[in-house]
């Protein structure tokens, strides 16, 4: 399957991507940590900046949900540096690509556009779906989110490598 093309970088030397969920304590910070790890492995940390935020402000300044942190730690990732932030519409101007975790997040961002997509549009296995909110469920939900995030992050970083080589 051919993944969708990334919207082009506005500055050819760097790419800025942000991931958005509801609380910024479960899904989008997990994607943020995994994407940053994959970028490190690809030697792209100087050229790609990834961060995350939530459309809701309840957890601003707080750490990741302990279940998200434990799931990441069990798979060798460090979650301790995360502090929750709230999305603000002006942040869209700072990013080449804004990735929403579910359709509700996408609607809160103003809907799909050239630079606003669902994160799982880039899922190489089952594209176009949502990353389900694990907040009210059990630990299995966090494992499921991590699996979706890992395979999708790998596809996004591969697309970034192509985009940055081409520019």
Closest CB to ligand 4NP among residues 7, 23: 23
Question: Given 96, 102, 123, 133, which residue is catalytic?
Answer: 133
Q: Using the rule CB under 6 A, is 83 a contact of ligand 4NP?
A: no
Closest CB to ligand 4NP among residues 7, 141: 141
Contacts of 81 (CB under 8 A, 6+ apart): none
Closest CB to ligand 4NP among residues 26, 44: 26
Rounded Cα–Cα distance for residues 157 and 30 (Å): 15
Q: What mask, x for binding ligand 4NP by CB under 6 A, covers residues 9 to 48?
A: ------------xxxxxxx---------------------
> Which helix (H) or strand (E) segment is 30 a member of?
helix 27-41
Of the candidates 105, 36, 100, the one whose C-alpha atom is nearest the C-alpha of residue 72 is 36
């Amino acid at each position: 399957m051919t993944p969708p093309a990334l919207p082009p970088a506005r500055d050819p030397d760097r790419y800025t991507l942000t991931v958005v969920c509801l609380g910024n304590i479960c899904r989008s910070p997990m994607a943020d940590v995994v994407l940053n790890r994959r970028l490190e492995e690809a030697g792209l940390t100087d050229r790609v900046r990834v961060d995350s935020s939530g459309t809701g402000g309840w957890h601003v300044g707080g750490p990741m949900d302990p279940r998200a942190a434990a799931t990441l730690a069990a798979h060798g990732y460090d979650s301790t540096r995360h502090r929750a932030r709230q999305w603000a519409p002006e942040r869209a101007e700072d990013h080449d690509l804004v990735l929403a975790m579910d359709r509700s997040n996408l609607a809160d961002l103003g809907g799909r556009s050239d630079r606003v997509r669902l994160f799982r549009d880039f899922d190489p296995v089952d594209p176009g779906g949502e990353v389900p909110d694990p907040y009210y469920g059990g630990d299995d939900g966090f494992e499921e989110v991590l699996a979706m995030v890992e395979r999708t992050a790998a596809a996004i970083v591969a697309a970034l490598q192509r985009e940055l080589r081409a520019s």
